[in-house]
Amino acid sequence: MGQLALSGVKKRFNKFEVIHGIDLDIRDGEFVVFVGPSGCGKSTLLRMICGLEEITEGECTIDGIRVNDLPPVKRGIAMVFQSYALYPHMSVFENIAFPLRVEKLPEAEIKERVMRAARVLQLENRLQQKPGNLSGGQRQRVAIGRAIVRQPSIFLFDEPLSNLDAALRAEMRIELTALHQKLKATMIYVTHDQVEAMTMADRIVVLDGGSISQVGAPLELYHKPDNLFVAGFIGNPR
Ligand code: ADP
Ligand code: MG
């Protein structure tokens, strides 16, 4: 569970190609960070993986099964966005429970899953509050809770910390790494922040203009950048 492969994946908007043929294998439980400058195609790639955007050409498989034509809810993937998109009129509990209500799970199961997520994310004392009364970090944790309760084998994060201040970002980096160790799920994490990439990733995928520039462990890229782009972006400038 949680193994993902992209093969020759391309994206065109009208006639304009923005993703140029991505080949990538991600193993179960891996924490992979997609890093690259604004506009290089990180979000588009994530959106194709979770099914919010059609794959123009190529193939995406999850655990060996082609998912190109599967709707998002059937892919066993949960996505966390930069804008938390919480419902302001609902309590934290109801915000986290929302996807389970959509799936029409029994009430007892919903309660159990929400409580478990709240425990992992240290939100137990906030469940009856409204999102408006929470700090930015707590709101982001609610958004993550809403992903966790679905018990996906793959999590996608699109710049989830970019609205937080530097101190909170540092704290959330540690929390997300701990969460990964607890859940042992596959995580694909998009950022334009080199520090996040270097500190969180098992493997970094450097994207440049819709293509993969280099893939490797953080220290590998840092010490042995393949090209000037990677060197400039995360490498060790010599
Ligand atoms: P990133 O997330 O790395 O900043 P995006 O995936 O958002 O990059 O965008 C990659 C490229 O695709 C950009 O050139 C962007 O303008 C273009 N693009 C993204 N979404 C659309 C869309 N719905 N229609 C047309 N072009 C798009
Ligand atoms: Mg983006």
Q: For 86-136, write each residue's pLDDT tens digit.
A: 999 999 999 999 999 998 999 999 999 999 999 988 899 999 999 999 988
On the question of pLDDT at 60 being above 60, the answer is yes
Q: For 197-206, write each residue's pLDDT tens digit.
A: 999 999 999 9
40 CA: nearest ligand 1 atom = 3
* 41 in contact with ligand 1, CB cutoff 6 A: yes
* 44 in contact with ligand 1, CB cutoff 6 A: yes
Q: What is the pTM of this model?
A: 0.93
For residue 14, what is the DSSP state?
T
Give the confidence band of 77 by pLDDT, cuts at 50, 70, 90: very high
Which pLDDT value is given to residue 236?
56
Indicate which residue's Cα is closest to atom 14 of ligand 1: 39
Work out the angle between the directed axes of helices 136-148 and 166-183 (0-180°, nearest 10): 20
Please give the distance, rounded to the nearest whole angstrom, from the Cα atom of residue 128 to the centre of ligand 2: 32
On the question of pLDDT at 238 being above 50, the answer is no
Phi-psi region of 21 (alpha: psi -120 to 50; beta: other; left: phi over 0): left
Indicate which residue's Cα is closest to atom 12 of ligand 1: 18
Q: Is the ipTM of this complex over 0.95?
A: yes
Average pLDDT value over all residues in the chain:
93
Indicate which residue's Cα is closest to atom 10 of ligand 1: 41
Percentage of the chain with pLDDT > 70? Answer: 98
Indicate which residue's Cα is closest to atom 27 of ligand 1: 13
Percentage of the chain with pLDDT > 90? Answer: 81
Tell which one of 10, 18, 47, 82 to mutate to probe ligand 1, the residue whose CB is within 8 A of the most ligand atoms.
18
Report the run of H or E that residue 198 belongs to, with start and end.
helix 194-200
Distance between CA atoms of residues 155 and 78, nearest Å = 5
Phi, psi of 50 (to 5 degrees): -90, -5
* 38 in contact with ligand 1, CB cutoff 6 A: yes
State the distance between the two ends of the chain, measured CA to CA, in whole angstroms: 41
